[in-house]
């Protein structure tokens, strides 16, 4: 049973007003005590008399009482101690005093300590039953109100806990939906970019114009950067196909192109995965080129494949103050596959335009017969 159910169940408990009331009588001479006991029992109450403060304390630890009657004229029973015991063991029980001696100062002190009423014996015997009933009814109402307030507080707390849980679940669901929407939007953007790039390249049937269109599109999408494109020359060699020099000296960039063609192209072409190097010097060490040329740069290197054949190698790099974002890497990955397919299509057209065409038994996708570009 959860907190919510417990709170509801406790609120539906029957009212205590119809149950028999129990009254504890402390001290007093036997004649007075017996008169009180007889009168209260006739009125339907359960009465327990005790003589000493120690016995009074033990009874309160054993059971609850609806009302406590205590003498205020016995030197052995101090009102201060009585109220202290009641506050510790039965704070909800009203305390009523009685005495055979009418002493106004003693009555006032008793009321100031917390007493709710006072009876002068035996003069008040005729009104005790009604006043005791009134006191008990009022005390029970106060107890019920306090318990009802506590139960209401528990119920509100349970409702609030459930509200927080629902809010958290809704927030989690909203986050999931937002993430799914963002993922779908990104995928749609990549599809749109791919379709746009494919449309542009499909109109180019010459390698030079295709390279120019491709690099222009890359610049438009990725911003300013250095680009080197290498095309396969025979089975094992590579030649520069196109480049963009954004921020390097001309002589330095020519050296960079030469080192990449000689040392890096074969390694890059042998790996189908796009590689991003946030530290350009690490890229240089892996490829065996001069780390100084790539210091403070971020490098992206990849092969452009058509089926199992690497048609071209691209190296893109720029200052690491403008790093390549994850979405930019996705865009590059989309463009490189389209670039490889279109390059293969152009090379097929060029080869078929030759006077001496190879045997039909040779697959169109076999580019090992001489230079592809």
Give yes or no for a contact between 27 and 70, defined as CB atoms under 8 angstroms apart.
yes
d(CA 111, CA 109): 6
Locate the domains of the chain by residue range.
3-156, 203-352
The tens place of each residue's pLDDT in the chain, 373 residues long, gives 454 354 445 444 444 444 589 999 999 899 999 999 999 999 999 999 999 999 999 999 999 999 999 999 988 999 999 999 999 999 999 999 999 998 889 899 999 999 999 999 999 999 999 999 999 999 999 988 888 888 888 989 888 888 888 888 888 887 777 777 677 777 788 888 888 888 888 887 788 999 999 999 999 989 999 999 999 887 778 999 999 999 999 999 999 999 999 999 999 999 999 999 999 999 999 999 999 999 999 999 999 999 888 999 999 999 999 999 998 999 999 999 999 999 888 887 655 545 443 443 334 444 433 333 3
How deeply is 97 buried, as exposed, middle or buried, from its count of CB atoms within 10 A (0-12, 13-18, 19+)? buried
CATH topology of domain 203-352: Beta-Lactamase (3.30.450)
* Residue 317: C-alpha distances to residues 77, 219, 284, 293, 329 (Å): 96, 12, 12, 11, 12
In this prediction, residue 359 carries a pLDDT of 41
Give Cβ neighbours of residue 111 (< 8 Å, ≥ 6 apart): 118
Q: Which CATH superfamily is domain 3-156 in?
A: Response regulator (3.40.50.2300)
Nearest to 98 by CA among 188, 26, 181, 200: 26
Rounded to the nearest 5 degrees, what angle is found at the Cα of 352, between the Cα atoms of 304 and 309?
Answer: 20
What local confidence, expressed as pLDDT, does residue 19 receive?
59
């Amino acid at each position: 049973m959860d907190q919510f159910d417990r709170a509801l169940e406790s609120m539906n408990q029957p009212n205590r007003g119809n149950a028999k009331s129990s009254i504890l009588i402390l001290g007093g001479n036997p004649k007075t005590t017996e008169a009180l006991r007889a009168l209260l029992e006739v009125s339907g109450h359960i009465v327990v008399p005790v003589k000493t403060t120690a016995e009074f304390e033990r009874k309160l630890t054993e059971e609850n009482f609806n009302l406590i009657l205590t003498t205020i004229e016995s030197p052995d029973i101090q009102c201060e101690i009585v109220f202290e015991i009641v506050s510790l063991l039965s704070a909800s029980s009203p305390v009523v005093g009685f005495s055979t001696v009418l002493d106004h100062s003693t009555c006032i002190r008793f009321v100031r300590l917390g007493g709710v009423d006072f009876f002068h014996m035996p003069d008040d015997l005729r009104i005790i039953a009604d006043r005791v009933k009134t006191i008990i009814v009022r005390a029970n109402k106060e107890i019920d109100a306090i318990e009802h307030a506590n139960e209401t507080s528990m119920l509100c707390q349970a409702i609030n806990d459930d509200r927080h849980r629902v809010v958290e679940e809704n927030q989690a669901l909203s986050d999931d939906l937002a993430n799914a929407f963002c993922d779908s939007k990104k995928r749609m953007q990549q599809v749109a970019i791919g379709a746009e790039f494919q449309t542009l390249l499909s109109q180019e049937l010459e390698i030079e114009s295709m390279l120019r269109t491709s690099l222009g599109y890359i610049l438009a999408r990725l911003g300013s950067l250095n680009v080197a494109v290498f095309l396969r020359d025979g089975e094992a060699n590579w030649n520069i196909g196109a480049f963009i020099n954004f921020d390097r000296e001309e002589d330095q960039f020519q050296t960079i192109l030469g080192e990449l063609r000689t040392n890096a192209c074969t390694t890059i072409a042998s790996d189908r995965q796009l590689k991003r190097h946030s530290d350009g010097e690490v890229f240089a060490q892996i490829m065996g080129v001069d780390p100084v040329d790539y210091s403070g740069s971020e490098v992206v290197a990849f092969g452009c494949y058509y089926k199992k054949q690497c048609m071209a190698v691209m190296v893109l790099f720029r200052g690491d103050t403008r790093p390549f974002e994850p979405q930019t890497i996705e865009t590059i990955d989309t463009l490189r596959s389209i670039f490889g397919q279109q390059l293969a299509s152009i090379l097929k057209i060029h080869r078929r335009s030759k006077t001496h065409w190879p045997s039909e038994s040779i697959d169109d996708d076999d580019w090992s017969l001489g230079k592809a570009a």
